[in-house]
A and B are shown apart, each in its own frame.
Chain A
């Protein structure tokens, strides 16, 4: 089942053509990595796929909903899309559990229910023991686990990760990919932007962007690992 689909998407920033016509689908259970030199349009692609930005032309569909017809993108993002970034991940004045609860509370969940959901998803990512600690008390790997938990809390099945291993050593980076992979195997769709081949190699498919176009994609497709 396709979770996110981009069809002939272009994005112009003023006179700059950041994306020049990209089509891409990510299915449930699939991990797709996007690679490419800086300025190739990787982050633009991720922002469009997650409804953080609208395309100049072409369509973006998340779980069957064409974003062109959605007025309140923020509401759709809170319920369907999770984001993990390299930094600026967690709010320092909130504990790990409170950070994870935040999207649920913004969406109107009762505090007790939001906390129960947060603890459950923290346990899923192996971070239950740090639930009541503040971000500054956590290691880089633990922080990123909490950020992934926050991206997944609720029923969100689309996870967008922009260089989630950026500041981590390679062993911890591997753990984060292991975790993203496990989420995929449980049915999430993950779109991962990375410049590191070792992490892209965890994907089912690797897409190379060059100058706003997909240079090579399906050629790297392998049969599913599952």
Chain B
């Protein structure tokens, strides 16, 4: 529900129109998760249905303005005070692939090395994006999140290599 709460948070600092919300969401999160304008309007429609935002008329150029409601502010407060659950992660294709390689006698070391090179390339690209982001703190922290995740995968691959080497001795 991060788009829903993200937009709601942006609205809590003042009324905005759809396109503006899209631009601000992307700027804040470092354009890491591009939003299409359709998602923004669908989300706003649901927020309005749930009583968390209200239509606030139109600006001088005729753009529909949205305003956060009191219930919406409470929802933002609840979002920030609740931890994100770890449970609903999708199945991990890489873990399944390594397990299958072990079970079927495919050369695990090759699978690991191929993945390691690809993950390192992704890490290099993220690091480059971080350097380019300069002083933007919000963007930098989002990129750091992706860097830590890629690094965890890389470490797990090293671990897989060491353990499978040990076992094959």
| Contacts from A to B (Cβ < 8 Å) | 37, 178, 181, 196-198, 200-203, 206, 208, 215-216, 219-220, 222, 225
Contacts and interface: CB of A to CB of B under 8 A. Distances in A.
B113 interface: yes
A19 B124 CA distance: 27
Interface string B149-169: 011001100100110000000
Given A37-B161, A201-B127, A225-B131, A220 B120 contact: yes
B158 A216 contact: no
Contacts of A202: 124, 127
Contacts of B161: 37
Q: Is the interface of B mostly helix, strand, loop or mixed?
A: helix
Contacts of B155: 197
A181 B124 contact: no
A183 to B, nearest CB: 14
A201 B123 contact: yes
Nearest to B148: A198
Interface of B: 113, 116-117, 119-121, 123-128, 131, 147-148, 150-151, 154-155, 158, 161-162
A196 B151 CA distance: 8
Contacts of A200: 120, 123
Nearest to A219: B117
24 contacts: A37-B161, A37-B162, A178-B131, A181-B131, A196-B151, A197-B150, A197-B154, A197-B155, A198-B123, A198-B147, A198-B148, A201-B120, A201-B123, A201-B124, A201-B147, A202-B124, A202-B127, A206-B124, A208-B116, A216-B116, A219-B117, A222-B121, A222-B128, A225-B128
